[in-house]
């Protein structure tokens, strides 16, 4: 029996003719037009976006498997539609075997040349040139240009690289390298206490410790008193990152710092040194505490950028400061120091720095899909800078595969769309402005990168900027760390299918431009490419990223010296090296890139 609906009368009035036409048009649209549009972009029937609750996901299980109705998440391949596919990549301009052999040899050479630039009587004679034990020289070059100094920033980045090589495959700590790191930490404590043009430092009357923002010291660890871009407030946080990395690696290897120092002294290392610390507790009070105090009190202060050219607030400086505060807070909480007043300062600074980076600082510009390094300089520059990539790499070391860095929930990891789009924009721009790249001007191959497009520093003076070894190496490292993060996350790869937010991915995939962005789906929004974790397509994508990373290193292969030497730059016309010879950072960046690559190769070769 059919019941009449209570409280409502049956309407018997006919619909107006125009309204009937509208209803018929809507019905026709659903029946004929929408299925046609969906078919044209190759949607599997199970994923048709015909209702608000339907998915807008394009799921691909295998890029190379033909369409099979029994395999519904493969997109069909018909002449009249264009599906998303992997771009073919040509990573090497030599054979793969030749590249691998060169990479292995260059990696070893670069690490040797890096160690040759650290004052350590255990394996070099820099002491005869007046270099203090534990001091890291930027380059042995003493004229045109004179880089025979120590920069706290470069030193910390270099020692952080040494820490990455501290524990071997046998899980044993390399005592020689450990001695180098201990000497560096001891020299750092000395530098903290040297009065300099930036301030008095530790032991002086300045509670803000301004002297810890001094950018440059003589090789004997005395003050450099010449004119320079002061302050540079990234040195202390980078030193903290390297120090916490070292302590964590010792912890992972179950080695106590006090025991390590005793062993080093027993072997004769450091006998002539008067160490200012003897265990982890005294290291914290002698060195770490002051660097943490400096960051909490000076992060808001304008400073010069890592290229020592522009004063203001910089993405690189702010991100390494945030990483240092969060790592410091993590350390204090896990070492019974949570009630120390410094811990509260760190928490407050971390909160404010996070807001500054993500909201207030201007690094995220709605008119740009990449991250702006120095927002105050946008009136004269594009904001593009390889410093953005380096900041992400240095602050997300857990993506290297070491498992030795605390996960502190930092923003701007290597998978962040702004970070990846910065790489894409640098490649697109520098493929054009550096003639040495013109033979490689293709979305299928990496190119030589410089610092930023508007650069005019040529390694000695100002004329035209050039590609830098370290910039190109760090581009490769970013891609390798991205691969490691993808495997470590054990999650599907999900990418918005639009050419604004996901511009980087257009270097890896083709077909994004065939998918309209926003509003065309029921409820609005973009299509989303889903590549299921552990699927053949996931593995194929990781191989493509590896090849892309290799293409950057292969470009460097064309410009390094026959003996494995690397200067600061190579000429953008001729490709010949110029600027400071054997730049420590050049070798460190190359080694770091190769090191991360070595971590991801087993993941790719054994995807399941």
Give the whole-angstrom CA distance, residue 82 versus residue 75. Answer: 10
Cβ atoms within 10 Å, residue 516: 14
Separation CA 246–CA 277 (nearest Å): 15
Strand partners, 304: 311
The closest of 191, 339, 185 to 257, measured between CA atoms, is 185
Helix (H, G, I), strand (E, B) or coil at 453: coil
Rounded-to-10 torsion of CA 221, 225, 227, 232: 50
User: Could you tell me how many residues make up the chain?
Assistant: 608
Q: CB neighbours of 558 closer than 8 A, spacing ≥ 6?
A: 93, 575
Backbone torsion region of residue 103, taken as left when φ is above 0, otherwise alpha when ψ lies between -120 and 50, otherwise beta: alpha
Tokens coding 497: 């299918």
d(CA 330, CA 336): 10
**Which of 350, 242, 333 has its CA nearest to residue 287?**
242
Ramachandran assignment for 224, one of left (phi > 0), alpha (psi -120 to 50 degrees), beta (any other):
beta
Active site residues: 305, 308
Residue 484's H or E segment, with its range, is: helix 469-489
CA angle, residues 41, 43, 47, in degrees to nearest 5: 145
- CA 547/CA 92 separation, integer angstroms: 8
Pair 374, 305: CB distance under 8 Å: yes
Report how far residue 28's alpha carbon sits from residue 40's, in angstroms, rounded to the nearest whole number.
Answer: 18
Q: Which helix (H) or strand (E) holds 179?
A: helix 175-192
What percent of the chain is helix, strand and coil (3-state, nearest 5)? 45, 5, 45
């Amino acid at each position: 029996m059919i019941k009449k609906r209570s409280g409502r009368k049956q309407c018997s009035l006919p619909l107006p003719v125009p309204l009937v036409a509208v209803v018929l048009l809507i019905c026709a649209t659903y029946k004929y037009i929408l299925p046609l549009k969906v078919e044209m972009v190759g949607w599997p029937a199970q994923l048709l976006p015909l209702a608000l609750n339907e998915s807008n996901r394009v799921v691909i299980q295998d890029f190379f498997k033909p369409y099979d109705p029994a395999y519904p998440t493969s997109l069909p391949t018909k002449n009249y539609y264009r599906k998303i596919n992997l771009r073919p990549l040509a990573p090497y301009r030599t054979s793969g075997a030749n590249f691998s052999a060169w990479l292995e040899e260059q990696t070893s050479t670069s690490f040797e040349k890096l160690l040759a630039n650290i004052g350590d009587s255990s394996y070099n004679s820099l002491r005869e040139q007046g270099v203090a034990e534990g001091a890291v020289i930027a380059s042995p070059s003493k004229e045109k240009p004179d880089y025979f100094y120590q920069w706290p920033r470069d030193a910390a980045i270099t020692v952080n690289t040494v820490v990455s090589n501290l524990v071997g495959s046998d899980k044993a700590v390399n005592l020689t390298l450990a001695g180098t790191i201990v000497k560096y930490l001891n020299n750092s404590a000395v530098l903290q206490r040297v009065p300099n043009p930036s301030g008095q430092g530790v032991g002086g009357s300045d509670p803000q410790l301004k002297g810890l923002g001094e950018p440059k010291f003589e090789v004997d660890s005395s003050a450099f008193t010449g004119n320079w871009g002061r302050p540079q407030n990234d040195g202390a946080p980078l030193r903290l990152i390297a120090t916490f990395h070292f302590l964590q690696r010792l912890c992972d290897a179950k080695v106590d710092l006090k025991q390590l120092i005793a062993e080093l002294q027993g072997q004769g290392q450091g006998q002539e040194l008067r160490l200012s610390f003897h265990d982890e507790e005294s290291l914290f009070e002698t060195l770490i505490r002051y660097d943490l105090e400096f960051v909490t009190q000076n992060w808001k202060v304008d400073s010069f950028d890592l290229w020592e050219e522009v004063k203001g607030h910089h993405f690189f400086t702010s991100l390494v400061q945030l990483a240092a505060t969060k790592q410091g807070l993590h350390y204090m909480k896990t070492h019974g120091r949570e009630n120390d007043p410094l811990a509260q300062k760190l928490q407050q600074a971390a909160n404010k720095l996070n807001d500054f980076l993500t909201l207030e600082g201007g690094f995220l510009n709605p008119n740009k899909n990449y991250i702006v390094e120095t927002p105050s300089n946008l009136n004269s520059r594009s904001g593009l800078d390889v410093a953005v990539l380096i900041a992400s790499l240095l602050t997300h070391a857990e993506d290297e595969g070491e498992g030795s860095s605390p996960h502190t929930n930092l923003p701007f990891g290597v998978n962040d769309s702004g970070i990846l789009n910065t790489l894409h924009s640098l490649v697109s721009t520098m493929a054009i402005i550096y003639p040495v790249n013109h033979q490689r001007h293709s979305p299928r191959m990496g190119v030589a990168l410089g610092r930023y497009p508007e650069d005019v520093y040529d390694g000695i003076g100002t004329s035209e900027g050039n590609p830098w070894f370290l910039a190109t190496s760090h581009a490769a490292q970013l891609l390798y760390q991205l691969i490691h993060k993808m495997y470590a996350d054990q999650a599907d790869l999900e990418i918005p299918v639009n050419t604004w937010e996901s511009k980087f991915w257009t270097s890896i995939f083709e077909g994004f431009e065939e998918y309209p962005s926003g509003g065309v789906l029921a409820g609005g929004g973009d299509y989303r490419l889903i590549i299921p974790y552990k699927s053949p397509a996931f593995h194929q994508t990781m191989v493509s990223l590896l090849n892309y990373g290799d293409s950057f290193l292969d470009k460097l292969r064309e410009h390094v010296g026959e003996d494995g030497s690397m200067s600061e730059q190579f000429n953008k016309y001729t490709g010949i090296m110029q600027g400071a010879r054997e730049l420590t950072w050049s070798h460190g960046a190359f080694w770091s890139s190769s090191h991360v690559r070595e971590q991801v190769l087993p993941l790719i070769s054994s995807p399941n």
